[in-house]
């Protein structure tokens, strides 16, 4: 269970860094490149959903570890 907690928190932090880098790139996309901006926003949305699931998994793993000792 501790391994699952460690893996989910590690992935959570890595995806958060990737999201931050993608958000830094977003303002530099030209207004004419709407397709790239749309793809980037969809990717950010997908990463946000995965990040929420990883956070929930880590929360429940830590709760189970605390309950079982």
Q: Mind listing the pLDDT tens digit for each residue in 11-61?
A: 899 999 999 998 898 888 887 888 888 888 899 999 999 999 998 998 898
Whole-number pLDDT of residue 37:
85
- In this prediction the pTM is 0.77
The helix-helix angle for 34-68 and 2-25 (nearest 10°) equals: 160
Neighbours of 4 (CB within 10 A): 14
Whole-number pLDDT of residue 69:
76
Whole-number pLDDT of residue 48:
92
Give the pLDDT band (50/70/90) at residue 4.
confident
Q: Nearest CA to 12 among 44, 52, 40?
A: 52
Give the pLDDT band (50/70/90) at residue 7.
confident
**CA distances (Å), 52 to each of 8, 12, 67, in order?**
11, 8, 23
Are the beta carbons of 29 and 37 closer than 8 angstroms? yes
């Amino acid at each position: 269970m501790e391994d699952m907690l460690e893996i989910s928190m590690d992935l959570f932090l890595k995806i958060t860094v990737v999201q931050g880098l993608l958000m830094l790139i977003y303002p530099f996309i030209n207004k004419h490149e709407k397709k790239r901006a749309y793809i980037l926003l969809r990717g950010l949305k997908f990463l946000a959903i995965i990040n929420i699931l990883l956070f929930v998994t880590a929360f429940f793993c830590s709760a189970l570890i605390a309950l079982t000792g």
